[in-house]
Amino acid sequence: MKKNKKRKLKFTKGEKLVYFIGLVLSPLCILVVQIFCGASIGNLNMNVEKLKYEVKNQEKTNESMNMQVSELTSFDKIKEVIQEMGLAYNNENIVTVEE
């Protein structure tokens, strides 16, 4: 019987280059991509917080404006403006429409 001799595998230069790229450069590329994605996410989070702050400020401004509108449209304020313009308030001229 013949003994099977084990052959030692020999890699070519091209195969060695492919393994080098696969084992060394791929993890480095993944690390770089993770760093850039993390930075982008951080930037987006900062923009979201800025927008939330602006929305809160705008809501406060809107609430203040609504309060001013309520004050200016009150019956007493209207009556005061009418008197300043020299007009008179006459209850008999008010017509109520009902369906």
Domain chopping of the chain, boundaries: 13-87
Contacts of 82 (CB under 8 A, 6+ apart): 88, 89
Name the residue with higher pLDDT: 18 or 8. Answer: 18
pLDDT at 51: 98
Answer whether 11's CB lies under 8 Å from 19's CB.
yes
Name the residue with higher pLDDT: 90 or 58. Answer: 58
Q: Which of 13-17, 45-49, 66-70 has the highest mean pLDDT?
A: 45-49
Mean predicted confidence (pLDDT) in 65-85: 87
pLDDT at 79: 82
What residue type is 77 in one-letter code? K
Mean predicted confidence (pLDDT) in 63-92: 86
Is the pTM above the cut of 0.85?
A: no
Alpha carbon separation from 92 to 56, 89, 96 (Å, rounded): 47, 9, 11
Sign of the Cα torsion 61, 63, 66, 72 reads negative
d(CA 39, CA 33): 10
Answer whether 65's CB lies under 8 Å from 72's CB.
no
d(CA 73, CA 87): 17
pLDDT at 4: 67
Residues in the chain: 99
**3 pLDDT more than 70:** no
**24 pLDDT more than 80:** yes
pLDDT at 35: 96
